[in-house]
Structure 1
């Protein structure tokens, strides 16, 4: 490990909880001649997700209290403190604020994490959003739905992700089933669900909008994707994310709406990943994360667009003047190729004995496939897909022609289950 003194001329970034897409930040910083320190926000790594690989980091600091952590990090003179995933958002806000570094402040940290507070903050700002209630009382939830919104409604945890614990409820029995499935359990970040959020079910097509805000608040849109989803019972399951051209409908309206959301939630520096539904009344936020898109693959985004969130975020931190010159005001990505991300679904149920490397190689060899990633490994229990967490295969696809993507996607549908050999 290098000493802080030996790094006095090397910019150092801090990543809090480098799970998920946070794993791409060390390489992004190093491409700019910078180093990265890892800050672990919990005494032990989370058991519900794969632990971060600490090998690219200078060191791993375990967060204890604000003053002690700030003092320990100050020895490295960091240029930024960034969340690597959702659990890192609030600690990153606090520590960056305490150390006088670029960030979003702590005043609205809870609204950037808690899905109820998030929507209430938008409502207070006069921004179009869902109607909602927070409660631990199933009967209160049923009464509210039948009095205020009618069915369907969405029931979900306060602070989970990847559609974990999200239910579409079409009657009172569905609400009771959903509440029973969530209340008293733990979300994927090991937070106990003592209450749930129930919201009016927004009707319309859902989109992803990814952005980076740099020094001075300049906003660059890193991509807009259209979700295609499948409804199976009370679950709405991801199928495909399709990249849109920046001049296509309804990109301009989505981005203009998101700009109001960013201001209301005081997301003024760093990355953000928003999910927005275009309703008949206009755009409405599903939720936003003040961090990188958890499904991003930098190489894939570089191929189909003109950059990726991780590299742009690193540039904003390490070379803020260069970022400000390149992204002045409000700027948009450039679409280079057609692209989609396929989230494999399965009806298989059993323990994975092996990955069929021949089948995986056949998928990977398709002209449009940039990357195929099995998300279940030998020894894992494969269950019928109900959310992103139980999707066993992710395939990043890009081509010059949409028809090529469609043809290869159909081939992947025929092969996907054969990737996994069950015991």
Structure 2
């Protein structure tokens, strides 16, 4: 059995392990040494190792103290291929492949493959559109370039980094100076220090990802994504959601042609390229390339549902199965489902008592999975400033694009109007309980007595001649009802909000088609985000919020129509 070595395996690159096994080869992961003993480097190494648990069976080896020692160690395994499993693995994988005469990308192209300033230089040398910029290590150098070039809006970014860490959009000179100062004091996600930063003119347009695989210098598209990002008050760039491009729109075929030209200019011969591009009125321009599988921790199954292929398997074809590579190339770009990755944006620093979004998102029709950066109750979350500080991602896929877009809109509404249903701080706890049933009696006077009615209540009300049930006995109630009235507070006041969300969605399951639910003020005051939270919960079940009745105020009314 031949060995294939994956250098630093994480994120989407983890799919290589099973793909290699499926080809009757032996996967070997080569783990890199930590950059240093900084907190960031140790945390990154911890993430790497935690990811091994979900990767299946593989052999693990470690980078040695010197490159020469690592090379001699790798020779002993007589590898068929050496490939990078993440951005940090590109340099070593390329060096080893060249020294062992294995298929890969030429060593002379390594700087253009990994350094953001060198990528742009290579484009300029090949008469392709590029972004004007300069590498600086001091504030004075940054100011000199800014003023000399007559710049206004600029982007500050590390020369070597990933996941948008250290990237800042600056609208004026003062913001630029502040950003340079901040980034030069930061460390990257690998724990590396930023000794210099790249200052570039800002290109304002739509941002895309074009993922390709290459076989002996021939390039093939695997997927095209459009990024939707936002800028924080501090100037940080954050991801909102990424959507797959199924049918090319205006200007997007030109983008693909330009991506092929970029791959040629960089000198790509084999394997995957994750290219990020901006498209404005002047056409496409490269932001950066990453010569490894796309990040985002995509499951192979998720990608297979979208395009009947996934990037790591297609990458192995480019090295090992040229015939299949060219067959896929001739088939063209075909998708079978629509996919979106929604990043969860945290509006402020907080400590989450619970995570209702884990249960709520699972009820979305296009739900595939949620990857939340929480490790238990009372988890601290920082305000989202970049990809690394998002709360996590929700993966959505469905044959109907409209369903996916509807689910994205729902999540974005929760973020903006009912965030306690995403990450709950327990703000609605310890309120004074009110036991006023006047609203309930008025409501019952307006409901036809011969309809089936279920009252979910903390305490049974003797004078009411309707079916009543306590929340913890709900499972004993069979069938569905024309009207469900929710009048609870004691049973939820000290419960975590993920429990509360699950309870309400179970209640809504008992509404008959054409039926109604009524959530009294006596109840929604104790829900996360109050009335807005109640309305958000009914929306997850596609219930329609009804126009309030003049004589029935302070009641959320929703129908199953």
Q: Same fold (TM over 0.5)?
A: yes
Corresponding residue for residue 143 of structure 2: 142
Corresponding residue for residue 268 of structure 1: 269
**Matches for 1:356-375 after TM superposition, within 5 Å:** 356=356, 359-375=357-373
Q: CA deviation at 1:365?
A: 2.5
SS at structure 2 position matched to 1:107: helix
Q: CA deviation at 1:108?
A: 1.8
Does the aligned pair in 2 maintain the 1:138–1:175 contact within 8 Å?
no
Corresponding residue for residue 411 of structure 1: 410
Cα deviation per residue 1:73-94 (whole Å; 9 max; x = unaligned)? Answer: 2232211111111111110110
Which range moved further: 113-122 or 68-77? 68-77
Q: Which has the higher contact order (CA 8 A, sep 6+)?
A: 1
In structure 2, the CA distance between the partners of 1:112 and 1:389, relative to structure 1 (3 Å rule), is same
Q: How far apart in 1 are the matches of 2:326 and 2:203?
A: 39
Q: How far apart in 1 are the matches of 2:43 and 2:261?
A: 34
Gaps of 5+ in 2: 427-561
**Matches for 1:128-167 after TM superposition, within 5 Å:** 128-167=129-168
Does the aligned pair in 1 maintain the 2:154–2:200 contact within 8 Å?
yes
Gaps of 5+ in 1: 1-9
In structure 2, the CA distance between the partners of 1:169 and 1:325, relative to structure 1 (3 Å rule), is closer
1:25 aligns with 2:16: yes
Does the aligned pair in 2 maintain the 1:206–1:275 contact within 8 Å?
yes
Cα deviation per residue 1:197-219 (whole Å; 9 max; x = unaligned)? Answer: 000001211101011112x2332
Corresponding residue for residue 241 of structure 1: 242
Corresponding residue for residue 35 of structure 1: 26
Corresponding residue for residue 382 of structure 1: 381
Corresponding residue for residue 48 of structure 2: 51
Corresponding residue for residue 74 of structure 1: 75
CA RMSD of aligned residues (A): 2.2
SS at structure 2 position matched to 1:335: coil
Corresponding residue for residue 401 of structure 1: 400
Cα deviation per residue 1:264-321 (whole Å; 9 max; x = unaligned)? Answer: 111211111011011222210001100000113321111111211011113334x324
Q: CA deviation at 1:331?
A: 6.6
Q: How far apart in 1 are the matches of 2:182 and 2:34?
A: 28
Q: How far apart in 2 are the matches of 1:149 and 1:308?
A: 44
Q: CA deviation at 1:58?
A: 1.6
Q: How far apart in 2 are the matches of 1:414 and 1:324?
A: 42
Q: How far apart in 2 are the matches of 1:149 and 1:377?
A: 48
1:420 aligns with 2:423: yes
Corresponding residue for residue 311 of structure 1: 313
Q: How far apart in 1 are the matches of 2:205 and 2:326?
A: 37
Does the aligned pair in 2 maintain the 1:38–1:54 contact within 8 Å?
no
Q: CA deviation at 1:21?
A: 2.1
Larger-gyration structure (1/2): 2
Corresponding residue for residue 301 of structure 2: 299
In structure 2, the CA distance between the partners of 1:149 and 1:340, relative to structure 1 (3 Å rule), is farther
Does the aligned pair in 2 maintain the 1:306–1:333 contact within 8 Å?
no
**Matches for 1:336-351 after TM superposition, within 5 Å:** 336-351=336-351
Does the aligned pair in 2 maintain the 1:218–1:327 contact within 8 Å?
no
In structure 2, the CA distance between the partners of 1:421 and 1:80, relative to structure 1 (3 Å rule), is same
Give aligned pairs, total. 409
Q: How far apart in 2 are the matches of 1:383 and 1:272?
A: 31
In structure 2, the CA distance between the partners of 1:96 and 1:25, relative to structure 1 (3 Å rule), is same
Cα deviation per residue 1:54-113 (whole Å; 9 max; x = unaligned)? Answer: 463223232333333233222322111111111111101100001111110211212211
> TM-score of the superposition, structure 1-length normalised?
0.90
Which range moved further: 269-278 or 184-193? 184-193
SS at structure 2 position matched to 1:59: strand
Corresponding residue for residue 475 of structure 2: none
Does the aligned pair in 1 maintain the 2:31–2:60 contact within 8 Å?
no
Q: How far apart in 1 are the matches of 2:197 and 2:157?
A: 6
In structure 2, the CA distance between the partners of 1:44 and 1:187, relative to structure 1 (3 Å rule), is closer
> TM-score of the superposition, structure 2-length normalised?
0.69
Q: How far apart in 1 are the matches of 2:270 and 2:424?
A: 45
Cα deviation per residue 1:110-147 (whole Å; 9 max; x = unaligned)? Answer: 22111111111211221101100111121231232233
Does the aligned pair in 2 maintain the 1:154–1:167 contact within 8 Å?
yes
In structure 2, the CA distance between the partners of 1:290 and 1:63, relative to structure 1 (3 Å rule), is farther
Does the aligned pair in 2 maintain the 1:218–1:324 contact within 8 Å?
no
Q: How far apart in 1 are the matches of 2:309 and 2:139?
A: 46
In structure 2, the CA distance between the partners of 1:368 and 1:149, relative to structure 1 (3 Å rule), is farther
Q: CA deviation at 1:393?
A: 2.4
Q: How far apart in 2 are the matches of 1:394 and 1:371?
A: 8
